[in-house]
A and B are shown apart, each in its own frame.
Chain A
């Protein structure tokens, strides 16, 4: 499975505004002046931090980890990649998303979540982790 970097989401996309607006007849709501705030998915996933990046998933090698073709991953470059993390790694001229694992002998592996794919042993010196995946955006229906 390949990971293709698509940059950041368009900041112009309007976040969902959530407020209650009962309008009793003849009496203006005093809350009307305070409706500019909103819940933000950007904040929840830390999208605006200088070390956060978005990548899109291609292929199904991580399907059993719930990562599907076309999903968008939130990637944090500031995190230390530890065994157990899902990482974006550079392998043989390709960026790939896999789980980083350490075996009993201390060897490092990039492990897919799909029985059709084989785990890949990596030398600690040649392991190039691009970033650590913190979140997966998977749509079940297009809004």
Chain B
């Protein structure tokens, strides 16, 4: 078993550079909504000492003096570029799981050949097709793939791909990686681990599991096991996320709008549940649908649409509404759709936003309603209470196997005359 974690370098900044190639060696930063603070930095900007979260009004002067290119966040662009990256990866790996707007896990189980070379090919193809630089980390567990990815980014001489399946190489990296670099550990937790003598990833991997569970959490114990090469962690379990993505292949190809609508409503509901579980509100939502990217000769289509939300929310009804409106705009007949995706962006903690005086107000009682639904579903089983749009057992579109040439609707099948 092994995984690859493919992650775009300084994703938001790199998106800006695609359309402005002359910024190649120029430091670039991207600001949060309303130009509040720095949320993305290129390597050059980091070297200047610009910290993550630097308030723009305090740094404006210096950024200008240093010639830093500053951008407001352009989620439409980033979401669209993200969809391009993911579609590109799906052409290379049979099983891709989008983890956030700029990273995806690929399940490498059963793939033949040189996996490191495959990683290189992924890097080259994404770079060529989208102009975005990505790093690839390969490992027997997701946590190790993530750490390998960090190594690929940190040491340029790795060529952007690091493979940790070899135990010796793994040990070497774990010994030099600070524990804070491990997926889901972070700064605060590493401060609490230091008194126990856990400084490197290696220390964590070989610490006594029972103590980790007792003093910290089951998740940390699992993380330690993953560092030893034993897979046991689902990506949902680690670290609060900045984006939430629910994307799934359909049971079979769908052609009509109605079943896709049902699927998307159900994905948006799932995403809303994830959102509430981590106690966040979404400021933006994006939907995407696409056809298969492998089948030769099958027309390909990939539609993406950012959907405005009236206010930051975790209300299933509002999120599903927005997603379905987006779907209406991108659905096109005549394609065999294989996958849909709901992405929640611009996540923030409850109470972290200032309400807009003129924006519509959240529906009264929404919080209590959602909490009640989650409680009932937790007890009675998932989907016990759901929106009417989401069917208990989805029915699929009809088949049409006895079809003649499509003379008037398909470029390849036009009537030929000599």
A residues sitting closer than 8 Å to B (CB atoms) are 5, 7-8, 11-12, 15, 18-20, 36-40, 42-44, 48-51, 77-78, 90, 93-95, 128, 130
Contacts and interface: CB of A to CB of B under 8 A. Distances in A.
B414 to A, nearest CB: 9
Contact of A77 (B21, B83, B131, B332): B131
B80 to A, nearest CB: 7
A12 B83 contact: no
Interface residues of B, number: 32
Contact of A11 (B85, B129, B305): B305
B19 A50 contact: no
Q: Which of A5, A51, A90 neighbours the largest number of chain B CB atoms within 10 Å of its CB?
A: A51
A77 B129 contact: yes
A51 B300 contact: no
Interface in B379-418: 406, 408-411
Nearest to A131: B131
Contacts of A44: 411
Interface in B6-27: 19, 21-22
B329 interface: yes
24 contacts: A7-B77, A11-B303, A11-B304, A12-B329, A18-B408, A18-B409, A19-B408, A36-B334, A37-B334, A37-B409, A38-B334, A38-B409, A39-B409, A40-B332, A42-B301, A43-B301, A51-B88, A51-B128, A77-B128, A77-B131, A78-B129, A90-B22, A128-B21, A130-B131
A54 to B, nearest CB: 12
A11 B330 contact: yes
B275 interface: no
Contacts of A37: 333-334, 406, 409-410
Contacts of B305: 11
Contact of A5 (B19, B330, B332): B19
A50 B334 contact: no
B128 A50 contact: no
Interface in B310-362: 329-330, 332-334
A49 B21 contact: no
Nearest to A93: B22
B299 interface: yes
B88 A95 contact: no
B84 interface: yes
Contacts of A36: 256, 333-334
Interface string B73-91: 0000100100111011000
Contact of A43 (B88, B299, B302, B303): B299
A36 to B, nearest CB: 4
Contacts of B410: 37, 39
B243 interface: no
Contacts of A130: 21, 131
B130 interface: yes
